[in-house]
Amino acid sequence: MRLLKKLLMAIFVIYLVPTFASAGWWALKDRPQRWSEANWGSAGLLPKLEESDEAAIYIFSAKTGGLKGAVASHAWIVTKAKGAKTYLRYDKVGWGSPIRRNHRPADAYWYSNAPELVTSVTGAEAERLIPEVEAAIAAYPYAEPGGYTIWPGPNSNTFVAFVLREVPSLGAVLPPHAVGRDYLPDGEFVHVDDDWRDVHLTIRGLIGLSAGWRSGFEVHFLGLVAGLDIARPGIKIPAVGRIGV
């Protein structure tokens, strides 16, 4: 009984307190009430196309709209081939064709929330990795209409996390508030990244853990993530994000 009480207290302190605090802050924030009122324009984060011929890959994440924004974000992928005159943006969405291409500017606000750059790769390395990224996008197993479940997944973050696991050379994981990122396809319970630098265990994205050089050490509970970052020292706080170097 004592062990159960300690476990419940740990869940309350580690997962629920930050979630309630984030929800309280979100309730006070001035934000659009409807998607039609939101800013979906460019945030001006990407280099102008005429300024660089380099190949590039970017992963973005931004808090989503409505009450979900208190605890959850939306992630997407941007690529640019060497010498290309346009960026290509890929999102997984819950309406229409699930994987959308260029339905928003590459670095657009999401429900008026500024995007966060999760990682970027440029130059020769990006040129090498773009075909791998495109292959991973094509191989995503929930790409058909109906292949979207807001919680626990598969959702927009499941899609981007799948690509990051399939192309570990991108060297990144999505932030702790990317709910759905830990949902493994086809009911998979254990996944080891191809470079053996991360291992993931999960029960349908609800309860699990990740450990390794990229993930650090994370414990997942109902889509919320708490943990420690090793590669870039910091802490991962449920619903809030990552704080550190």
Q: What is the pLDDT of residue 84?
A: 94
What pLDDT was estimated at residue 2? Answer: 81
18 in Cβ contact with 238 (< 8 Å): yes
| Residue 192: predicted pLDDT | 96
DSSP 8-state assignment for residue 159? H
Q: What does the pLDDT read at residue 232?
A: 87
Residue pLDDT, tens place only, 52-96:
899 999 999 999 988 889 999 999 999 999 999 999 999 998 877
Separation of alpha carbons 58 and 113, rounded Å: 17
What is the DSSP pairing of strand 116-122 with strand 56-63?
Answer: antiparallel
For residue 16, CA distances in Å to 9, 220, 228 come to 10, 13, 18
Say what the pTM is: 0.94
Residue-level length of the chain: 245
CB contact at 8 A, 162 and 170: no
Q: Are 118 and 61 in contact (CB under 8 A)?
A: yes
For the chain, residues with pLDDT lower than 50 are: none
pLDDT for the residue 206: 95
Please report, in angstroms and rounded to a whole number, the separation of the first and last CA atoms in the chain: 39
Residue with tokens 């291409």, as numbered in its chain: 101
pLDDT at 244: 83
- What pLDDT, on a 0 to 100 scale, did the predictor assign at position 113? 95
Give the helix ranges, DSSP H, for 29-108. none
